[in-house]
Structure 1
Amino acid sequence: MKVKSIKYPGIATTADGSGAVVWVETHITQGACAYPITPSTNMGQGYEAAVSNGKTNLWGEPLTFLELESEHSSASSCEGFALAGGRVSNFTCGQGLVLMKEVLFTISGKRLPVVFHIGARALTSQSLNIHGGHDDVMAVADVGWGILFAKNVQEAADLALICRRTAEDTCTPFMNVQDGFLTTHTIESLLLPEPELMKEFMEDPKKKLFNFMNPDNPLMTGVVQNQDSYMKGKVAQRFFYDKVPGALKQAMEEFESLTGRKYDLVEPYCLDDADFAIVGMGTAMETVMATVDFLRKTTKLKVGALNITSFRPFPSQEIVSALKNVKALSVIEKCDVPLMQSNPLTVEVKAAFSDSGLKIPTIYSGVYGLGGRDVRPSDFMATFHMMKEGKRKQKFFSLGIPYKDTLPREKEVDIRPENTFSMRGHSVGGFGSVTTNKVMATLVSDLFGLYVQAFPKYGSEKKGLPTNYFLTISPQKVRTHCELEHVEFVALNDINAFNLGNPLSGLSKDGMVFIQTNKKDPKEVWKSIPDWAQKTIKEKGIRILALDTVHIAKEISSRQDLIQRMQGIVLLGIFLKSTPFAKHKKMSEGDLFKGVEESLRKYFGKRGENVIADNLKCVKRGYEEVFEVTYND
């Protein structure tokens, strides 16, 4: 049978969720109005950088960027931009999204087809938190906007197009939501939509959009309506909303026909024969899917998952159809509203079953990941086993924290695909480790054709305090989104990590540890390692590598302000020397460093040739000068 060729297979590369959105929006929009708020700031910065560099959209128009004094003002500016017939974007989250809620009602009421990109974040409650949560999106779930959730970087890019197409086909604004930090700041392998695809999928905004401010065709908008008119205008908007589900499905189907990448309102996974299921939205659902595969492979449990891509319009019929045969399901949510009947998604799943008239399975409701709290496959295993046992009377539970309603985390197991290689770094803020991690991911993907995921553990801490970063490299797509427990390589940019915890935790037998040190004698390096760590190293046969990356950075850097960050780049050379990827690819050193230079240009090209040359020298020095510390068994 002849396989149908894919017209637009995508551009293979690496990017984080922010970069993926910027790629799409700087091609198809005419402008953006935004106010920076973490973790959505990088999207606005990326768009503004494109404007500063004179980028034009696919129809040759120069882009416009407005940075206003608040999120409320930025939303109002988007409203004006759209009223004038422009295709406009916004990037926001958290308190910023809630602050603009008043304007969101106005935008939907005026049927303005804008798209806002949300790096979903916890709302300030008992304390300030800048990390992941769905509190902000749930706070604006009633404003009349379509809301799609991406579970990885690929979806953040693709759904940006699908949101825009559906918005303009139905005169309904949309939010394209990705998880703050877990997607916005995580580098992953993806296929970027080609410019040719975007131009075919999206029409020229000048031809597609309506200009409400055209003096040749004047009309009145945003008027006062009294008792005789307001309700008629409000209910009449159902004319538009009734078209949204069909238009969204049509956009997804057309996108699949062009790219081969399939989307739907919901994504059932292994549900055909499942007795128990986990239901949710966002990055955690990809981890759930990987957990489902592991449990089906290693146990007799019939488990499955349902990822909800479209929160608005809410796909009641599709949810019931996918879950109608399960015995029990757990809806997991990244927000907690204790005074509701249940948390928001759980309430709507229950309502969907109630309206269906079918037998309702046992429905549990769990919270996880609030404020960026780590959630792991072992948490989801505990959730599945809880449903199987069927003894829990309390329907609410939490994951990953010490609390009376928390399901105890099960023993950690390694569910990564075969031949996966992972690294965990223990560094200090300001050392350039996060950038190095991104460069490593890009290099490995480009040179060796492997899937990557580079995730930094950001905090509110300032420069000089401990940080962690994680890198996973695999021949298969990386689907787990959590802090890494099972690793083959540990990088200690600061040997003080031994005094702050156990950096050897989860390190595989015969794994590797790199130690940044100013000591030249391997014996002195060994003596600097605490006795308890020496014992673990001997028992596991761990290789110890060492080098003074700080000294190398000071010798090479032509810019004083980059010395501290360049020590992280030295680690890239150490990583390439000690890991097996170049050897497996049978790649010569010449080809290897040619690829390194190309990757460095991606990140530092705009800083000039001197900066690129300095970084390349740092990589080569790390590659050539790293030494191994031997010890007695």
Structure 2
Amino acid sequence: MDTNNKKAKYPGVRVAMDGNTAAIMCERESSDAAGAYPITPSTQMGEYWAEEAAKGHLNISDRPLIFIEPEGEHAAAAVTAGLSMTGLRAANFSSGQGIAYMHESLYAAVGKRLTYVLNIGARAMTKSTLNVHAGHDDYHAIDDTGFFQLFAKKAQHVADLNIIAHRIAELSLTPGAIAQDGFLTTHLIESLLLPERELIKEYLGRPDDIINTPTPAQKLIYGPTRRRIPELWDVDNPVMAGIVQNQDSYMQSVAAQRPFFFDHIKELADKAFEEYYQLTGRRYERVMTYRAEDADYLILGQGSVVPSAEVVVDYLRKTRGIKVGVVDLVMFRPFPADLISKILKGKKGVAILERLDQPLAADLPIAREVRAVLAKCLENGASKNKPPYPELSSYTAADLPAVYSGSFGMGSRDLQPEGIIGAIENMLPEGKKKKQFYLSIDFIRDVPYTPKQRAYQESIQEAYPHVKELAIKGSENPNLMPDGAITVRFHSVGGWGAITTGKNLAMTLFDLLGYDIKANPKYGSEKKGQPTTYYLAAAPEPIRVNCEYFFVDVVLSPDPNVFKHTNALAGLKKGGSFIIQSDKAKPEDVWADIPKPYQKIIIDNDIHIFYIDGFKIAREEATDPELQLRMQGIAFQGAFFAASPLMEKAKLTEETLLKAIEDQLQHKFGGKGQRVVDDNMRVVKRGFDEVHEVTNKVLGAGHSEKGNGEASLPIPTMLKEIPKSASSLSDIHRFWDQTGNFYLRGMGNDNITDPFIGLSVMPAVSSLFRDMTGIRFEHPEWIPNNCTACGNCYTVCPDTAIPGLVSELSDVLETVVKRVKNNHGKVEYLPKAVRQMESKIRQLFNENDKGVTVNNIINEAIDITISESGNGNGLAQEMEWFREELGDFQFALTRPYYSLHEKNQPNSGGLFSITINPTTCKGCMECVNVCDDDALRVTTQTEDSVARLRKEWDLWLDLPNTPAKFNRIDDLEEKIGPLETILLNKDAYLKFASGDGACLG
């Protein structure tokens, strides 16, 4: 995009926003009406339009905005068409399946010569799986409808091309589509020059303006002048639109559209681009190039890959002297064959990168079009008379470039500079010259992560010897951020508000320093408790790299457990800063929590380690308890400025900084009340003041080594209970080995491309992989002496995380003995001693008061048994092992299961227990809320308390099921008796596979 903003009448207003917002900031001024149905990732466009309509915003025609949300995308297309037919400037917003759903309506919109603009957040289409992220399937799904199609590479282009699209549509009487990559542009906050309202008013005018009719065909229909947007539905001038035609006339109606309407779009688009340039100084063309004139090799693509390709081109020219350029296909329909033929002539190779795959086609969509153009150019060159395609260049065989086709980025798969370098290296004389390839994935890993993966890969290669060659890798992955940039990566947990924190931080940097920014949330389907990542970069010049930032200056980790599943130091520069959440009081304790391999990386790279207890700050400052989790991240915003070198570089005072942060919080949360703003500001200030550095970094201090991704993870506890399936497809253990264990340690990107992932079927109960320990800060603690066994707690728990159980005393003792044997081998005295001990325990039950603590009684009986025994140290040692295995596991002597049974038959009473499942409990405290007996209390989670929960749960799994005699249901069919007690049956309770990502409670 050439710019000449200093002389421009309308240079634009400098702002930072995402692509969805950029589109609506223009649409709200230009358009009158919109019909839309929400679908990710374009939902926000419709939402923002609806908000503007609700606020009573008046557009350049002084009209209040009209918004209609019908029952689906198909209906939304019909609504938008209807609005356009009445002479209104109309728009629609959609993505993915929404585009496919409205597909048939688009043909009719073109046939009626309507003028609306379809804004597309380009999204991968559901195939073997659903994906809501970037893909060009939906964009190319409409390339046969007659819509003209534009594609924006960044937010600036979204804004400008949206306005230009309306201009082209209204001149050509053809509806148009303007697309942007889903999430990668729709949700990426970046700097741009927002078009002024006055520009839109001058450039587009009002829909009811009378303009000179732009084409001869239109003059035949409308005369020398016409309404800017014709009124097809007009009660004063009625016509029938959308009529039926038979064999005698239908073909003529289709054929007439090419010469009289479609063929004019190219020249009208060029005119619209030029007029926009004259007003703004920002030049657009149907095809835009970067360093292509002298290039031997070209990268051709659409969307957010283009800026990344441009910066890679600069790097390769500078470091290797490779003459390579970039071609940005701004307009796909009508296909700019005339420009493409000139640009590609004489090049050695062109790699066409497309964000989709069409495996049964001869080529991908753009590659098909390019090959068709090249074939026509050869026909021109072979013609001895007048070239058959005069608008195209004439080629000899020597002029023909080699064409390479690459699929990349489907579903927003990250494309690092390495991938683009790989596509270029493939074309070079020493390259592999693969004609069709994939970037950024592996069919076969060079170094398998686990022995099982190695064996599995060998079986695939045996059947498909060449499958590895389908994927291309680059030889390097350089850091291509501009000089003076500061790059930040967040490691957080789903539900903790990292995206809000990242956005606030980005906007603060933009407002405070005047930097160009890119704030890139790695949106995914991560559920509550799963690791999430957020990327942020700020620089004094434009940032062109569009990918997850590997090379970073600062890492913020609100996730205190980050080293247990992720190498959070990956890409952190020498001398960089790492800030982690910790509730430890001393820096040496924080250091001890870091595994030894990461300690070594920190020392070797002189990384500064800081820690802050953001949760403590949030708990103490948040007046709304529900906001504690999210406000923890806000503390890290303050910590960032205190720990990073940015304040010193920018010569900022604390007062200036905090004022800028307060302004940003006011903008973000002001609508929710001053209390919310004040709460957040206090948290920021304390984050700034209470961040501490770890300075005494001694290798090996603290915990032992913990590897990352080099061996198999242990199988989740509950997964062990599931038998292997006879079918590999439905085998949860196979799924764990090939897929689940990689996600659990934060390595989901490293799944190989294999037949199972191609079918994309998940075995049942994969939720057993989940562990909610990381999202809890409190958990319930059972007070057995207060428990009445009412059943309210295990009935209300939404996550089946607090099962009740009734056990025979003899079963409890026998289970503990078995665990001693399993862990310590053969025992000589223990079995006989424990059988004798049972009667002592029952006697002690009867001798003590009602408030007896069963665990204490059992330990007292152990002491008595040891003292009465003549087996000396042998029994004493085995009894100590017994104590260890029993641990702090608690039982209660309750009326329904102990007292009543003892009354009817001595020694028949059961021990009732409530146990917390540490992997599924989210800490919602619903159980505490429904307990009227103070038998469940909230306790703060610590490493020791988690270890205790895990040990007790392990024992619970070994205890036998509740015996049938404790079943209090008289008639299940007639529902007579306390039906909730059916959940005391392990077989019934464990049928509910918890681990879902729903919110707490």
Range class of TM-score, shorter chain: over 0.9
Q: Which residue in 1 is equivalent to 2:296?
A: 275
Deviation at 1:291, TM superposition (A): 0.1
Q: Which residue in 2 is equivalent to 1:362?
A: 402
Q: Which residue in 1 is equivalent to 2:450?
A: none
Q: 2:268 aligns with which of 247, 267, 270?
A: 247
Instruction: Show the 5 A alignment for 1:299-318.
Output: 299-318=320-339
Report if aligned partners of 1:448, 1:582 keep a CA contact under 8 Å in 2: no
Deviation at 1:619, TM superposition (A): 1.5
With 582-591 and 94-103 compared, the bigger mean Cα shift is at 582-591
Q: Which residue in 1 is equivalent to 2:239?
A: 219
Q: Which residue in 1 is equivalent to 2:782?
A: none
Q: 1:210 aligns with which of 225, 230, 250?
A: 230
d(CA) in 1 for partners of 2:417, 2:5: 36
Q: Which amino acid aligns with 2:198?
A: E
Q: 2:489 aligns with which of 404, 424, 443?
A: 424
Q: Structure 1 stretches of 5 or more lacking a match?
A: none
Measured against aligned partners, the alpha-carbon deviations of 1:279-316 in whole angstroms (never above 9, x if no partner) come to 11110111010000001111121111111100111101
Q: Which residue in 2 is equivalent to 1:408?
A: 473
With 11-20 and 407-416 compared, the bigger mean Cα shift is at 407-416
Q: Which amino acid aligns with 1:218?
A: P
Bigger relative contact order, structure 1 or 2 (CA pairs below 8 A, ≥6 apart): 1
d(CA) in 2 for partners of 1:585, 1:529: 32
d(CA) in 2 for partners of 1:393, 1:599: 51
Say yes or no: does 1:288 pair with 2:328.
no
Classify the secondary structure of the residue corresponding to 1:380.
Answer: helix
d(CA) in 2 for partners of 1:534, 1:584: 28
Q: Which residue in 2 is equivalent to 1:130?
A: 132
Q: Which amino acid aligns with 1:230?
A: Y
Report if aligned partners of 1:271, 1:323 keep a CA contact under 8 Å in 2: no
Size of the aligned set, in residue pairs, is 632
Say yes or no: does 1:34 pair with 2:36.
yes
Say yes or no: does 1:630 pair with 2:695.
yes
Deviation at 1:76, TM superposition (A): 0.8
Measured against aligned partners, the alpha-carbon deviations of 1:245-269 in whole angstroms (never above 9, x if no partner) come to 1111111111111111111111111
Measured against aligned partners, the alpha-carbon deviations of 1:339-361 in whole angstroms (never above 9, x if no partner) come to 21111100101111111231321
Q: Which residue in 1 is equivalent to 2:823?
A: none
d(CA) in 2 for partners of 1:182, 1:90: 20
Report if aligned partners of 2:488, 2:555 keep a CA contact under 8 Å in 1: yes
Q: 2:363 aligns with which of 334, 337, 342?
A: 342
Classify the secondary structure of the residue corresponding to 1:414.
Answer: coil
Report if aligned partners of 1:114, 1:167 keep a CA contact under 8 Å in 2: yes
Q: 1:18 and 1:563, CA in 2 relative to 1: closer, same or farther beyond 3 A?
A: same
Q: 2:671 aligns with which of 584, 598, 606?
A: 606
Q: Which residue in 2 is equivalent to 1:261?
A: 282
Measured against aligned partners, the alpha-carbon deviations of 1:402-436 in whole angstroms (never above 9, x if no partner) come to 13311123222112211221111111111111111
Q: Which residue in 2 is equivalent to 1:497?
A: 562
Measured against aligned partners, the alpha-carbon deviations of 1:89-134 in whole angstroms (never above 9, x if no partner) come to 1111111100100001111110111101111011111111111110
Q: Which residue in 1 is equivalent to 2:7?
A: 5
Q: 1:235 aligns with which of 255, 265, 268?
A: 255
Say yes or no: does 1:333 pair with 2:354.
yes
d(CA) in 2 for partners of 1:258, 1:604: 36
Deviation at 1:563, TM superposition (A): 2.2
d(CA) in 1 for partners of 2:619, 2:34: 41
Measured against aligned partners, the alpha-carbon deviations of 1:318-376 in whole angstroms (never above 9, x if no partner) come to 11211212111111111111221111100101111111231321111111011111111
Q: Which residue in 2 is equivalent to 1:378?
A: 418
Q: 2:181 aligns with which of 176, 179, 182?
A: 179
d(CA) in 2 for partners of 1:585, 1:540: 24
d(CA) in 2 for partners of 1:368, 1:32: 33
d(CA) in 1 for partners of 2:95, 2:206: 28
Deviation at 1:557, TM superposition (A): 2.0
Report if aligned partners of 1:113, 1:172 keep a CA contact under 8 Å in 2: yes
d(CA) in 2 for partners of 1:203, 1:491: 48
d(CA) in 2 for partners of 1:515, 1:259: 46
Q: Which residue in 2 is equivalent to 1:395?
A: 435
Q: 1:427 and 1:83, CA in 2 relative to 1: closer, same or farther beyond 3 A?
A: same
Classify the secondary structure of the residue corresponding to 1:389.
Answer: coil
Structure with the largest fraction of strand:
1
Q: 1:394 and 1:595, CA in 2 relative to 1: closer, same or farther beyond 3 A?
A: closer
Q: Which amino acid aligns with 2:617?
A: I
d(CA) in 2 for partners of 1:3, 1:123: 39
Report if aligned partners of 1:379, 1:410 keep a CA contact under 8 Å in 2: no
Classify the secondary structure of the residue corresponding to 1:205.
Answer: coil
Q: Which residue in 2 is equivalent to 1:512?
A: 577
Deviation at 1:227, TM superposition (A): 1.4
d(CA) in 2 for partners of 1:205, 1:582: 50
d(CA) in 2 for partners of 1:345, 1:525: 54
d(CA) in 2 for partners of 1:324, 1:341: 23
Question: Which stretches of structure 1, 4 residues or longer, exceed 3 Å deviation after superposition?
Answer: 390-394
Deviation at 1:4, TM superposition (A): 6.3
Deviation at 1:21, TM superposition (A): 0.7
Give me the TM-score of the superposition, normalised by structure 2. 0.62
Q: 1:484 aligns with which of 549, 566, 581?
A: 549
Say yes or no: does 1:50 pair with 2:70.
no
Measured against aligned partners, the alpha-carbon deviations of 1:125-144 in whole angstroms (never above 9, x if no partner) come to 11111111101111111110
Report if aligned partners of 1:34, 1:67 keep a CA contact under 8 Å in 2: yes
Q: Which residue in 2 is equivalent to 1:59?
A: 61
Report if aligned partners of 2:643, 2:691 keep a CA contact under 8 Å in 1: no
Q: Structure 2 stretches of 5 or more lacking a match?
A: 210-227, 379-394, 444-467, 699-1001
d(CA) in 2 for partners of 1:229, 1:617: 73
Q: 1:206 and 1:552, CA in 2 relative to 1: closer, same or farther beyond 3 A?
A: farther
Classify the secondary structure of the residue corresponding to 1:181.
Answer: coil
Report if aligned partners of 1:366, 1:399 keep a CA contact under 8 Å in 2: yes
Classify the secondary structure of the residue corresponding to 1:552.
Answer: helix
Deviation at 1:394, TM superposition (A): 4.0
d(CA) in 1 for partners of 2:431, 2:544: 31
Q: Which amino acid aligns with 2:156?
A: Q
d(CA) in 1 for partners of 2:629, 2:300: 45
d(CA) in 1 for partners of 2:62, 2:675: 33
Measured against aligned partners, the alpha-carbon deviations of 1:367-397 in whole angstroms (never above 9, x if no partner) come to 1011111111111111111111265454111
Q: Which amino acid aligns with 1:36?
A: P
d(CA) in 2 for partners of 1:221, 1:363: 45
Report if aligned partners of 1:354, 1:360 keep a CA contact under 8 Å in 2: no
Report if aligned partners of 2:5, 2:280 keep a CA contact under 8 Å in 1: no
With 185-194 and 399-408 compared, the bigger mean Cα shift is at 399-408
Say yes or no: does 1:165 pair with 2:185.
no
Q: 1:455 and 1:4, CA in 2 relative to 1: closer, same or farther beyond 3 A?
A: closer
Deviation at 1:585, TM superposition (A): 3.0
Measured against aligned partners, the alpha-carbon deviations of 1:141-162 in whole angstroms (never above 9, x if no partner) come to 1110011010111111111101
Q: 1:519 and 1:167, CA in 2 relative to 1: closer, same or farther beyond 3 A?
A: same
d(CA) in 2 for partners of 1:312, 1:252: 15
Instruction: Show the 5 A alignment for 1:13-162.
Output: 13-162=15-164
Q: Which amino acid aligns with 1:217?
A: N
